[in-house]
Structure 1
């Protein structure tokens, strides 16, 4: 069998934007090298999504809407730009974990098209938490709200990079989880984490020393929360799935927004 041809930066970008957003980007390669590049580029997709979300919130503020409407728009934009896949994954994982059933049965529950009570409750609480946190941030200043939206979206995709690191197995032999599980070298995942933390700190500098601290804490605590969920899912399901990646994304985003609202 011949070795895969070398990937270009565009292969990784296409994979990231083609699988993580609704932007009309055609994924030209669906192999492990392209998946590696795509997962390393995932925070860049988050930057675009977060910028769009912040722009929607700021536009409403400019038009005279209050912080609540701006917060709702900021939460809605990432859902639209991802076809709601991450929220759907969160609900499916909540149903799978809440079922208390063995891994095989839990995975079957997660593949069903309907959403159970655990999924509904989790979605409601997560969306309420995200909106409430953004109301607080926008109420303090438009800069703080916009920065919170961008940082949350970026770190939400960073945790995908971290979850795709070597050593994390797939729960199924097919699907997005199997395509990206274990493709990112640990050194690459660590470098992506440091890069995002540094960029968040630079953005937080717009709000002074407190903004720097808050931005870095948002990255660290979001990554920690996602890591706890990741390990629990690996223990319960035997590995990761596309739904697990979605749940990690929403967990990290919510944590980052809550951190932005504190203090």
Structure 2
């Protein structure tokens, strides 16, 4: 989806751009492609698209928990595996790459070189293991309360975390991540987040709201870590924000479920 003569005469189409964004972030057989410039114009709609992904994962969880009568832990692993598969493991390399960059000592330039290196270090592997394990534990916790809607909330909130990081970051160019960061501004971010908060409240009342707030806090934290270590942010940083955002959303919902 880099700049290509194939898209030179293309006109902007919101529907095509949304489908292109869904093609980019999942393995669903949509196969609609558009230029990266047009696709990222609707970056603020990304959380809405992943409501659909969350619904599919929630159905997976319902079948496992209520129809197959598997326990909450087994169901949590299945749901997490489903989310990773349907999104094509899209952000896992970002988790490992950013972790490697943060772990190395040196200047921002050196850290960026390590982050962009194709090899993976022990810090990246360990961080991926921790994020994945804690996410499964979070799913296990909300499923213990039979809060199936929490799966939908955490998946759409993951993208809200990504948008939060994009809003608070300066782009590292060139790179695909820079297009998403440049197209995220305060107006479309707050409009997107307001709608997501309403949807989360309808699905889970104050527990749902807590899930979105947790993801937003995650986005702020990842943006701050990226700024301190790299000054600029790229697609790897956004990928890390997505995965940690899902985790923080689950964490906040798990705490709220205990009290409410």
TM range (shorter): 0.7 to 0.9
SS at match of 1:244: helix
Aligned position for 2:59: 55
Q: Which deviates more, 193-202 or 14-23?
A: 14-23
**Aligned twin of 2:227:** 234
Q: What's the offset of the Cα at 1:5?
A: 7.2
| 1:163 and 2:156 matched | no
Unpaired runs of at least 5, structure 2: 1-8
Residues 113-172 of structure 1, C-alpha deviations (whole Å, 9 max, x = no match): 33212112211211111111222221222xx1x21111110010122333344x732123
Q: How does 1:1-263 map to 2 (within 5 A)?
A: 7-37=12-42, 39-61=43-65, 62-141=67-146, 144=147, 146-165=148-167, 168-173=169-174, 175-204=175-204, 212-262=205-255, 263=258
Work out the CA distance in 2 between the residues paired with 1:160 and 1:185.
13
Task: Please report how far the alpha carbon of residue 40 of structure 1 lies from its aligned counterpart in structure 2 after TM superposition.
Answer: 1.7
2:3 aligned partner? none
SS where residue 84 of structure 1 aligns?
coil
Q: Over aligned residues, Cα RMSD in angstroms?
A: 2.1
Cα shift at 1:90: 0.9
- What is the count of residue pairs matched by the alignment? 248
- TM value normalised by structure 1: 0.87
Give CA-to-partner distance per residue, 1:211-249, whole Å, 9 cap, x none: x11111111121012112113213322322111111000
Q: Offset of 1:9 from its aligned partner?
A: 2.0
- Give 1:98 deviation, angstroms: 0.9
Moved more, 234-243 or 66-75: 234-243
SS of the residue 2:129 aligns to: helix
User: Does structure 1 conserve the Cα–Cα contact (< 8 Å) formed by 2:210 and 2:253?
Assistant: no
Q: Provide the C-alpha distance between the structure 1 equivalents of 2:11 and 2:190, rounded to a whole number of angstroms.
A: 23
Structure 2 Cα separation of the partners of residues 240 and 24 of structure 1 = 30
What TM-score does the superposition give when structure 2 sets the normalisation length?
A: 0.87
Distance 1:112 1:19 in 2: 22
Structure 1, unmatched stretches of 5+, are 205-211
Deviation at 1:25, TM superposition (A): 3.3
